[in-house]
């Protein structure tokens, strides 16, 4: 039952997740300043932006320029998202992108159709092409995602077996292509997970793929983000994707309200870990400063909690 | 480990917690409409307001008028808070207040001094006076609270022993005064609890006072509200105080930022329970409508999640 990891890694997605859904383009200097501040927090991986169609996502059109202007901190990886080969090539030729090869699987066929204009089965086969392309470029997949792993606004409940079937496919694919098994990430982009479904799914994955590092990509759509993250911590999961100030959301996920909460909030999750005695390598106060900068840039109240209340260290007596 | 209750009761505090900290007085018709809508949710207890000094808390000056104007739903209790005998007498003589006698204990002496202008020890003795006054009026204490049970912005960490000592005092007091032991509530008004400290404290209380109904008054100050509530659920706790849309906060708790989150959000907590298969008697969609009304009245984005995203039932296939 009590099986917390000693150290948890957070991969920061705020600069992409947060700004890709904005209606207005925010000045590039502001976004550079936010990333530079995030570099000072102790985070080891920051997703700067995405190389996607500027026609579909004009907010990400200047990702290449962002990479030119940010101040790099040694030991921090600055990554980007791409969704097709054109984007991948852009990332390769952009200024010093830390290549972060992902594989994307869909537990929901409809969500795959909406996001990728192809079935979940076709998407699987495309991942084989990605593995081969990555190999040809001297890369190996870092993380394989199962999207809509807990439920889908289009298909409803997702049977656990669908997720496990994706995992089995990933295992076969990696064996056939002779690449090491990547981290396995469960994505709850549409906010269907609850602490029990998280524990059940992680238990099933541990049985199926023992020893593989698991990752959770959690959204706080329905307020269970931190509780779900805590459930995963209690199962020993030590890798999470999160967003400063809880930035983000999924513009294609058919929510009724544009203000639906985004990713689980990095600094709130870091606060939880520290309170539980789990190390993160992250300085909470600097993380809070980054969250407040994000709020200042966006000009609207953001949904993080600790960014508004502060942590607890200032109230505690110094430990001798 | 898996010890969820079958049914959980939520006591709604939003109408008091939410409006007592507002800088402006909101029209009474709006507050009546909010309470009337809350009456339709299935909630069985709604705290309408408080009978406190209109000089200190002018927002609550018209609590008596609220009681006159609300539309009562049979089976719902409409309660009020008081902090001294004058307030208690006002509640007695106001129009149809469902008397809800509380006892208040403070695990933090400094917090007691700030809130009550008396020490925690003196506050204990005052509770004896309250028990006698309630008895004289034919009432018994419903719930005894230990405030700052998990930590205090003035005193830092609160030793579990301090809370247990309060509980022992309550047990002695009730034995001496020959009244039944009330529900025992732990209040985390300043947001110090985490899921592990909640579980440890509840375990200790169950050992000390087996069979007594426990209650949690949780604030979401640092984003752990729902995770803490989940931890309590997993220990079988079946009574929570919460606020629609996460309204509230504690104006005297020395937070750095007035926008610090308030009480744990009723509809988010209800959503969690329903996802876990725990009944609440509350209709989530009506609860969401009440949260949206609260947001419309206050005219600022409120911090509830489900109120913006909606629940999941509309995405699920009807169960046959």
Tens of pLDDT, residue by residue over A304-314, are 999 999 999 99
Q: Cβ contact (<8 Å) for B260 and A308?
A: yes
Give residue-wise pLDDT tens across range A168-218.
999 999 999 999 999 999 999 899 999 999 999 999 999 999 999 999 999
Contacts 24+ apart (CB under 8 A), A202-206: A202/A232, A202/A235, A202/A237, A203/A235, A204/A160, A204/A163, A204/A164, A205/A163, A205/A164, A205/A167, A206/A235
Residue B220 to residues A212, A239, B208, B253, B282: CA-CA distances in angstroms?
34, 24, 27, 13, 21
Nearest CA in chain B to A246: B223
Decide if A244 contacts A10 (C-beta within 8 A): no
Most confident of the following: A46-60, B234-248, B291-305: B234-248
Nearest CA in chain A to B302: A303
Mutate: best of B156, B308, B313, B319, partner A, most A CBs <10 A: B308
Q: How far is A148 from chain B (nearest CA, A)?
A: 13
Q: Is the pLDDT of residue B4 over 90?
A: yes
Regarding predicted confidence, which is higher, A83 or A260? A83
Active site residues of A: 250
Distance CA B302, CA B300 (A): 6
Q: Cβ contact (<8 Å) for A309 and B1?
A: no
Q: Cβ contact (<8 Å) for A224 and B268?
A: yes
Q: Is A249 on the interface with B (CB under 8 A)?
A: no
Nearest to B223 by CA among A5, A309, A250, A298: A309
Q: Is the pLDDT of residue A255 over 80?
A: no
The pLDDT score that the predictor gives to residue B187 is 97
DSSP assignment string, chain A: -----SB-EEEE-HHHHHHTT-SSPPPHHHHHHHHHHHHTTT-SEEEEEEE--TTT-GGGTTHHHHHHHS-PPTT-EEEEEESSHHHHHHHHHSTT-----EEEEES-HHHHHHHHSS-HHHHHHHHHHHHHHHHHTT----EEEEETSSEETTTEE--HHHHHHHHHHHHHHHHHHT-PPPEEEEEETTS---HHHHHHHHHHHHHHSTTPPEEEEEB-TTS-HHHHHHHHHHTT--EEEEBGGG----TTS--S-TT---BPBHHHHHHHHHHTT-B-S--HHHHHHHHHHHHHHHTS----SHHHH--SGGGSPPP-
The pLDDT score that the predictor gives to residue B18 is 84
The pLDDT score that the predictor gives to residue B243 is 97
The pLDDT score that the predictor gives to residue A257 is 47
Q: Is the pLDDT of residue B218 over 60?
A: yes
Determine the average pLDDT of the residues in A86-95: 96
Nearest CA in chain B to A265: B223
CA-CA-CA-CA torsion sign (A161, A166, A171, A176)? positive
* C-alpha dihedral, A129 to A133 to A138 to A142, nearest 10°: -50
Decide if B141 contacts B76 (C-beta within 8 A): no
Q: Cβ contact (<8 Å) for B226 and A227?
A: yes
Give residue-wise pLDDT tens across range B238-282.
999 999 999 986 544 444 444 567 899 999 999 999 999 999 999
- Express as a percent the part of chain A with pLDDT over 90: 84
Nearest CA in chain A to B259: A308
Regarding predicted confidence, which is higher, A55 or A159? A159
Domain borders along chain A are 9-300
Mean pLDDT check: name the lowest of A106-110, A180-184, B192-196, B303-307.
Answer: B303-307
Q: Cβ contact (<8 Å) for A156 and B315?
A: yes
The pLDDT score that the predictor gives to residue A2 is 54
The pLDDT score that the predictor gives to residue B320 is 40
Provide, as residue numbers in chain B, all residues whose Cβ is less than 8 Å from the Cβ of A289: none
Mutate: best of B114, B222, B273, partner A, most A CBs <10 A: B222
The pLDDT score that the predictor gives to residue A17 is 85
Q: Is the pLDDT of residue A268 over 90?
A: yes
Most confident of the following: A299-313, B45-59, B223-237: B223-237
Nearest to B1 by CA among A284, A257, A290, A203: A203
DSSP assignment string, B153-187: TTTEE--HHHHHHHHHHHHHHHHHTT----EEEEE
The pLDDT score that the predictor gives to residue A176 is 98
Nearest CA in chain B to A1: B1
Mean confidence (pLDDT) of chain A? 93
Nearest CA in chain A to B316: A156
Q: Is the pLDDT of residue A289 over 80?
A: yes
Give residue-wise pLDDT tens across range A12-56.
999 998 888 777 789 999 999 999 999 999 999 999 999 998 888
Mean confidence (pLDDT) of chain B? 93
Provide, as residue numbers in chain B, all residues whose Cβ is less than 8 Å from the Cβ of A231: 230
Window 262-301 of B, Cβ < 8 Å to A? 265, 268, 271-272, 275-276, 300-301
Residue A103 to residues A100, A106, A249: CA-CA distances in angstroms?
10, 10, 20
Window 50-89 of A, Cβ < 8 Å to B? none
Q: How far is A93 from chain B (nearest CA, A)?
A: 39
Provide, as residue numbers in chain B, all residues whose Cβ is less than 8 Å from the Cβ of A261: 305, 308-309
Residue A65 to residues A29, A40, A244, B277: CA-CA distances in angstroms?
10, 20, 21, 49
> What is the interface pTM, i.e. ipTM, of the complex?
0.94
Structure tokens at A315: 């109230």
The pLDDT score that the predictor gives to residue B257 is 47
- Read off the pLDDT band of A1 (50, 70, 90): very low
Residue pairs spanning A and B at CB distance below 8 A: 134
Query: What is the CA B114 to chain-centroid distance, rounded?
Result: 20
Distance CA B41, CA A142 (A): 47
Q: Cβ contact (<8 Å) for A256 and B153?
A: no
Provide, as residue numbers in chain A, all residues whose Cβ is less than 8 Å from the Cβ of B219: none
The pLDDT score that the predictor gives to residue A259 is 60
Is 3.30.1330.20 the CATH classification of the domain at A9-300? no
Distance CA A91, CA A82 (A): 8
Decide if A153 contacts A108 (C-beta within 8 A): no
Structure tokens at A60: 């990400």
Structure tokens at B92: 């007695």
Q: Cβ contact (<8 Å) for A151 and B312?
A: yes
Cβ-based neighbours of B29, under 8 Å, separated by 6 or more? none
Residue B214 to residues B103, B150, B202, B308: CA-CA distances in angstroms?
14, 15, 8, 31
Q: Is the pLDDT of residue B211 over 90?
A: yes
Q: Cβ contact (<8 Å) for A257 and B191?
A: no
Question: Other C-beta atoms within 10 Å of A56: how many?
Answer: 8
Q: Write down the CATH number for the domain with range B9-306.
A: 3.20.20.70
Provide, as residue numbers in chain B, all residues whose Cβ is less than 8 Å from the Cβ of A265: 223
Regarding predicted confidence, which is higher, B300 or B231? B231
User: Which DSSP state fits B117?
Assistant: S
Window 174-233 of A, Cβ < 8 Å to B? 191-192, 194-197, 220-224, 226-227, 229-231
Question: Other C-beta atoms within 10 Å of A97: how many?
Answer: 21
Distance CA B280, CA B228 (A): 18
- Express as a percent the part of chain B with pLDDT over 70: 94
Residue A257 backbone dihedrals phi, psi, to 5 degrees: -140, 125
* Catalytic position from the list B152, B174, B215, B250: B250
Q: Is A29 on the interface with B (CB under 8 A)?
A: no
Of A195, A268, A275, nearest to B230 by CB-CB distance is A195
- Read off the pLDDT band of A253 (50, 70, 90): very low
């Amino acid at each position: 039952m009590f099986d917390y990891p000693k150290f948890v890694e957070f991969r920061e997605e705020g600069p992409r997740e947060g700004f890709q859904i904005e209606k207005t383009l925010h000045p590039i200097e502001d976004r550079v300043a936010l990333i530079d501040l995030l570099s000072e927090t102790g985070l080891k991986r920051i997703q700067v932006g995405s190389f996607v169609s500027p026609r579909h996502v004009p907010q990400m059109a200047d990702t290449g320029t962002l990479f030119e202007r940010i101040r790099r901190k040694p030991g921090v990886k600055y990554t980007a998202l791409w969704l097709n080969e054109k984007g991948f090539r852009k990332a390769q030729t952009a200024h010093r992108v830390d290549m972060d090869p992902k594989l994307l699987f869909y537990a929901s066929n409809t969500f795959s159709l909406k996001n990728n204009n192809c079935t979940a089965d076709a998407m699987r086969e495309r991942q084989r092409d990605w593995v081969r392309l990555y190999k040809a470029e001297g890369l190996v997949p870092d993380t394989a995602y199962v999207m809509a792993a807990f439920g889908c606004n289009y298909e409803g409940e997702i049977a656990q077996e669908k997720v496990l079937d994706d995992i089995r496919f990933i295992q076969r694919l990696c064996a056939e292509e002779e690449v090491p098994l990547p981290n396995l990430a469960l994505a709850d982009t549409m906010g269907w997970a609850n602490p029990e479904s998280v524990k059940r799914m992680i238990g099933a994955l541990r049985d199926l793929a023992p020893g593989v590092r698991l990752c959770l990509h959690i959204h706080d759509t329905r307020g269970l983000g931190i509780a779900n993250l805590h459930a995963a911590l209690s199962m020993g999961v030590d890798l999470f994707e999160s967003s400063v100030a809880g930035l983000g959301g999924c513009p294609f996920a058919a929510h009724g309200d544009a203000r639906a909460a985004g990713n689980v909030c990095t600094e709130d999750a870091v606060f939880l870990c520290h309170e539980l005695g789990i190390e993160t390598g992250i300085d909470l106060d600097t993380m809070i400063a980054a969250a407040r900068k994000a709020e200042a840039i966006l000009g609207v109240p953001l949904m993080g909690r600790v960014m508004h209340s502060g942590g607890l260290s200032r109230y505690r007596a110094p430990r001798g």
